[in-house]
Structures are given as structure tokens and as C-alpha cells.
């Protein structure tokens, strides 16, 4: 990367377009060296771990150099484009890359190396003189030497004095203090009173002392058997001619890390309910014809979202988060409703801010904007932050249901299965009805089984009888 030294050249660095992001991938350059740019003009599109974002240049000038090609992941704070703010033309050709730095001179070994005999300090030049021990009797020494010569002992044993030769005779030991019954007990148990540690007053040996001395010594713990040597794990092999490797980065990398963290941090519980939504489907068709809903996105997801918001209002404790640092449950008096959206770059979960306060037309408008922005890949990082609960619609793929993983930091996620015409007992008769299966996963630290069941049952009851949107709201 070339370094611009002219005072008129400004370096534009990769900004932190989210909260605490550390890197971003350059997806597309909209300018090339020699192009004129103006303050606020978008020069490139980058993908962070949360979304694709367009970057505007903050000054006027002429592009001198693009430091990185498309597809490169760049750390935040690294210069990505150089702009000549004086308005001068771009250079005819890119400057040659800087020469590699000269190799450092070989370091000389530390310390002075002796090159002449007798120069310097010789290693291990001094030895400690052995201490003089007591004289060994001649007969014992000769026996030890003969043992060494016969090959039955170590050389060191030949010079080892015997304990009797080197240790002075111990003074006569005083007679231990003990009462006659205690002495008889010691004799019966075969205990030498001179080896017993007295605990009685004035150093008298008690019956307990004798019993303690007679008790068998605790057995040494058995030596554990050596662990079996495990065979090394087989090295995986790959058929590179028939396999393709896809780098995990950007949104997919962030999603993978978030899902692993959520799955192994929050204790998940998932409950299911199958419900007749025939009346809800009829209401969807009626709303499509309503003049107040003209031009808005009206579909079953809209009424499912409204049903979940009503259920949360009836059970507000479900709308919470877990504060690990302070060991507290944070109850939230607002609902930022997340909607999981599959995009070419991966799964993202933007949320509708303050969804609890929106009317049905307002909720439909916000839902339409959210989906359209996600499809275009223009979802901002702010739109994906601060969610409280989420809905994931797996039914659009023809799937009946699933066990969704919580979006990190949220308390619950509702999975909506495919709505299908199925035989159902209605008013005592088996009739074809529109049926779906709902699955609610929740964080069991925050939501117990009773609370989670109430929320799921309320959502199902509203979808079965959508007039409850009025009576329960």
C-alpha cells in the first residue's frame, strides 16, 4: 500500500459503521483513480458483521489511489482510499511499492567468548569439596569395597558410614508415665509405651493414646492404573476436485458466532401448539379489501405479529433480558419486534422499534419497509440492534415448524409453520380447515414453563378467534 506524503492528499479510513465493529469487507468501489468526488458522495459499499453499508467521502477532490481491491476485509481505522483535495489530476501510473526493508545485521552472541587457552571463565571450573565425615572402621570399609568388587552394590555404598559408627549412643530414655491399667492394656495390645505420644496431664499416657498407637496405619491409596493410550484422531481428508470452500465472513460469520453463543448461554425451552387459523385467513382477505389498508402489506404474518404483541401485553414478564454481569432480570416496557429475514448475505433480524405502540396500519407499513429494505441489502446496523422478541416465518418454505434459537439478548422467539388445509374437528364435525403449528422458544432463566405456555396459548387463541384482537387489546 502506497503512503501519500503530499499535504494535499487526504486518507479516508474505514469507519466503525456499527457499534464496536472491528472490520468490514469492501464489496464494491463506485469510483476509480482519477475520478472527481464531492463531499457526501458514496465511494464504496462495505459489508460489516451486521449489514451492507454505503460509505460517503467527507471532502471534495480527485481520487489518487484505492488501497484495497473489492472482496478485501479491512480493519476499522485502516486507510482505504487517498483523495487529492487540491483538485490535481491523478498520477499517470501507480507508484512502485516500497522496497522491502533491509535485512537486519546478524546479532552477535551476548557475552565474551574465550578464544585462547586460559582466557575467560571456564564452565564448571569449581567443585565443592566433600565434607569430611567420621572415620570408617577398617574392617567395615574393606567389606564394603569387596561388595562393590563382587558387583552387588553401588560404588557410593562403599564410602557410606554405618549408622552405628557415626551416631552417638542415645541417652537413656526415661520410663514413660502411665497408670497400671494403661500399662496392662499396652502389654495386651503389644504396644511399646516408649513409642506412644502422651496427651494426658503432666505427660501421662492415657488409654486413648494406647488405642491410637495400636490402630493400624492407614493403607496407602492404590496406585491408579495408567490411562489407556488413545490412538491419534484420524486426519480428515478432502476431495478438492469435487468440493468448494466458501469463506465464512460478514453477516454469516456474525450469525454463526451469535447462534453458538446463544445456544450455549441461554437455556432454551421450546413449546408447540397446532391451531385452526381459518378465521384469521378470512380476516386477512377482508383487510386486503379495506380502504384503510390500501397500499399496505397485508398477510398472515401481520396478524401473527399483532397477536404476539397482544399476548406480550397480557404477559409483560416475558419481555425481558438477562444481565449476566449484575445477575439481574431486566423487564422491558417496550417491544422492539424482530422479524427474521433470509437475504443473499445470510440471515438478519431487523426489528420494528416500539411495535407495541403501533396501530395495525402502522405495523403493516413498518413491516413492509423492513422486508423491502432487507431484500435490497440496505438494512442498517441500527435496525438490527435492541430487539426484545422475534418472529421467524419458516412456513414460507413449506416447513411445518421448528425449534428456533433465540436472537442473542432476547427472551423469546416465535416460529410460524406453513398454513395448510387439513382435516379438523370443527363444531363436532371433521371439516377441511386452515391449520398451522406455532413453536415458541424462550430463555428458561427469564421465562418459566407457566409463563411461556400462557404466551403461546394466547397467540394461538387470538389466531383461532381474531376478534380477541379487539376484546384483549
**Catalytic residue IDs:** 444
Check if the beta carbon of residue 36 is closer than 8 Å to that of residue 48.
no
Start-to-end CA distance of the chain, whole Å, equals 61
Do the beta carbons of residue 315 and residue 458 sit within 8 Å? yes
- Give 242: exposed, middle or buried? Use CB within 10 Å, 0-12, 13-18, 19+: exposed
CB 368 within 8 A of CB 327: no
Question: How far is CA 19 from its chain centroid?
Answer: 18
Q: Measure the CA–CA gap between 26 and 13, rounded to whole angstroms.
A: 12
> Rounded distance, CA 230 to CA 441, Å?
40
Residues 6+ positions from 177 with CB-CB distance below 8 Å: 198, 202, 203, 204, 205
* Parallel/antiparallel/unpaired status of strands 36-37 and 61-66: antiparallel
Give Cα 358 distance to the centre of its chain: 36
Pairing of strands 23-29, 73-75: antiparallel
Amino acid at each position: 500500500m502506497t503512503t501519500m506524503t503530499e499535504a494535499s492528499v487526504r486518507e479516508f479510513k474505514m469507519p466503525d459503521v456499527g457499534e464496536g465493529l472491528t472490520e468490514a469487507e469492501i464489496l464494491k468501489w463506485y469510483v476509480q483513480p482519477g475520478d472527481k468526488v464531492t463531499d457526501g458522495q458514496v465511494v464504496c459499499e462495505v459489508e460489516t458483521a451486521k449489514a451492507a453499508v454505503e460509505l460517503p467521502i467527507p471532502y471534495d477532490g480527485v481520487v489518487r489511489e484505492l488501497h484495497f481491491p473489492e472482496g478485501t476485509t479491512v480493519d476499522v481505522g485502516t486507510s482505504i482510499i487517498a483523495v487529492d483535495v487540491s483538485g490535481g489530476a491523478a498520477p499517470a501510473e501507480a507508484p512502485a511499492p516500497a522496497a522491502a526493508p533491509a535485512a537486519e545485521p546478524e546479532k552477535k552472541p551476548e557475552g565474551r567468548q574465550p578464544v585462547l587457552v586460559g582466557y575467560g571463565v571456564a564452565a564448571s571450573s569449581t567443585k565443592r569439596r566433600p565434607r569430611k565425615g567420621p572415620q570408617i572402621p577398617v574392617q567395615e570399609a574393606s567389606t564394603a569395597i569387596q561388595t562393590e568388587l563382587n558387583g552387588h552394590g553401588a560404588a557410593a555404598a562403599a564410602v557410606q558410614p554405618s549408622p552405628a559408627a557415626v551416631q552417638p549412643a542415645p541417652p537413656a530414655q526415661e520410663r514413660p508415665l502411665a497408670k497400671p491399667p494403661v500399662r496392662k492394656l499396652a502389654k495386651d495390645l503389644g504396644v511399646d509405651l516408649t513409642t506412644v505420644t502422651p496427651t494426658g496431664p503432666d505427660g501421662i499416657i492415657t488409654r486413648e493414646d494406647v488405642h491410637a498407637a495400636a490402630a493400624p496405619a492407614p493403607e496407602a491409596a492404590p496406585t491408579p492404573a495408567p490411562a489407556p493410550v488413545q490412538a491419534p484422531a484420524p486426519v480428515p481428508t478432502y476431495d478438492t476436485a469435487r468440493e468448494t470452500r466458501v469463506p465464512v465472513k460478514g453477516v454469516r460469520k456474525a450469525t454463526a458466532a451469535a447462534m453458538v453463543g446463544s445456544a450455549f448461554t441461554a437455556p432454551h425451552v421450546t413449546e408447540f401448539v397446532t391451531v385452526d387459523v381459518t378465521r384469521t385467513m378470512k380476516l386477512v382477505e377482508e383487510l386486503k379489501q379495506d380502504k384503510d389498508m390500501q397500499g399496505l402489506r397485508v398477510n398472515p404474518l401481520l396478524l401473527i405479529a399483532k397477536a404476539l404483541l397482544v399476548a406480550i401485553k397480557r404477559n409483560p414478564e416475558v419481555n425481558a433480558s438477562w444481565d449476566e454481569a449484575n445477575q439481574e432480570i431486566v423487564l422491558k416496557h417496550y417491544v422492539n419486534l424482530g422479524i427474521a429475514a433470509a437475504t443473499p448475505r445470510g440471515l438478519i433480524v431487523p426489528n420494528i422499534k416500539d411495535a407495541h405502540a403501533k396501530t395495525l396500519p402502522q405495523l403493516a407499513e413498518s413491516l413492509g419497509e423492513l422486508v423491502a429494505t432487507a431484500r435490497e441489502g440496505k438494512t442498517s446496523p441500527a435496525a438490527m440492534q435492541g430487539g426484545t422478541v422475534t418472529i421467524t416465518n419458516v412456513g414460507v418454505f413449506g416447513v411445518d415448524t421448528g425449534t428456533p434459537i433465540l436472537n442473542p439478548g432476547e427472551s423469546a422467539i416465535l416460529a410460524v409453520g406453513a398454513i395448510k388445509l387439513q382435516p379438523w374437528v370443527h363444531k363436532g364435525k371433521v371439516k377441511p380447515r386452515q391449520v398451522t403449528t406455532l413453536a415458541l422458544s424462550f430463555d428458561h432463566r427469564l421465562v418459566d414453563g407457566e409463563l411461556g405456555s400462557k404466551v403461546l396459548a394466547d397467540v394461538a387463541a387470538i389466531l383461532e378467534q381474531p376478534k380477541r384482537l379487539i376484546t384483549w387489546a
